[in-house]
Amino acid sequence: MKMAARKYYDLNKIDPGWARKHKCTLWASGVSTGKIDEICAKPSFSELAKSAEEELARDEALAKAKEEGAREALKKAGADNTKGGHKNNTAKPSALKDTTIVSMAAVPANNPSDAPKNVASEEKKTGSGKPNFTFSADDDKQLLELKNEGKSWKEIAKALKKPQDALKNRFKEIGPNDEKPAPQQKKESKKESKKESKKNGHAKTNDNAAAPVVDQGGEEWDVQTVTGGDDSGDGEYMILYPDHIFSEEALVAMARAMYEDHDNFYQRIVSRIFDATGQRFSESAVKHKLAKARNELHEAKKTPTNN
């Protein structure tokens, strides 16, 4: 006798609600009673779906409540910030006033911004408005030593970093009595030579209209003052007075910078020529060119013009 092939079913796919009503059908199909009781104990598919819908609705309601609560919290925080801002604005002037008072009172006595004033106190004006270069005991000692060694005024000015006219005036005050009239004689002889050169220049101009006009205060002054072409130390210097733009401290700093940067004059000329033309010259070539032009200018002054 042949037995019928037994079919196997996926019991998880059986609706428990349907199984409760059709236990006999399941038993007849070969499902054991224990398995039937296990299936019937589970909730039906409709109950599971309803429970899932309720859980979804509950989650949505909770999420919505959280979102609304967050919005309310943000609104409340914004309102609090606005109120706080108004309070800060109303209190701002007094706060600034207090801060200003405290900051002014907290400035230390040795503030670096007071440094120029301290420098100015050491170099006060003498009544005429001219800058007064002060000399310390070491400066006076070094000035006398350099002068006794036979150094030129240009070398002394470079060593002490002070203008030559100030050094000469100081040397008159502290130097030996027999050497004091010497600078005055130089100045007088210089003035006489200037007057003679001016007369000769005017005579040349009147005698020959085609003769070149010599500029008494132009190129020669620039070469002597900045480069110090000769070692005699006799040159012309401009005196700067304080005004509404440049203070005394600024002019003193300017003068010191000019004397400290004395040796870089030819280097700057070489750099300017290279920037303008791309040609590179040595400093000695520039010195030679300027010295030659200065000598030609002196010779032109000395040589009378033939009619």
- 212 pLDDT higher than 70: no
Residues 6+ apart with CB under 8 A from 293: 219
Residue 122: Cβ within 10 Å count: 10
Mean pLDDT, residues 117-121 taken together: 45
Mean pLDDT, to the nearest integer, of 7-13? 69
CB 304 within 8 A of CB 204: yes
Place of tokens 């409340």: 76
The lowest-confidence range among 45-54, 128-137, 155-164, 257-266 is 128-137
Q: b/e string for 142-171 if b means 16 or more Cβ within 10 A?
A: ebeebbeeebbbbebbbebebbbbbbbebb
- pTM for this one? 0.22
- For the segment 5-25, the average pLDDT, to the nearest whole number, is 77
pLDDT in tens, 228-279: 444 444 444 567 778 888 888 887 877 776 666 666 777 888 788 888 888 8
pLDDT at 72: 85
| Alpha carbon 46 to chain centroid, angstroms | 80
Mean pLDDT of 146-173: 87
Residue 226 has pLDDT above 70, yes or no: no
Has residue 167 got a pLDDT over 80? yes
DSSP 212: P
Q: Is the pLDDT of residue 81 over 60?
A: yes
Share of the chain above pLDDT 90, in %: 2
16 Cβ contact list (under 8 Å, min separation 6): 39, 40, 41, 42, 43, 44, 45
Top mean pLDDT of 4-18, 65-79, 116-130, 201-215 is at 65-79
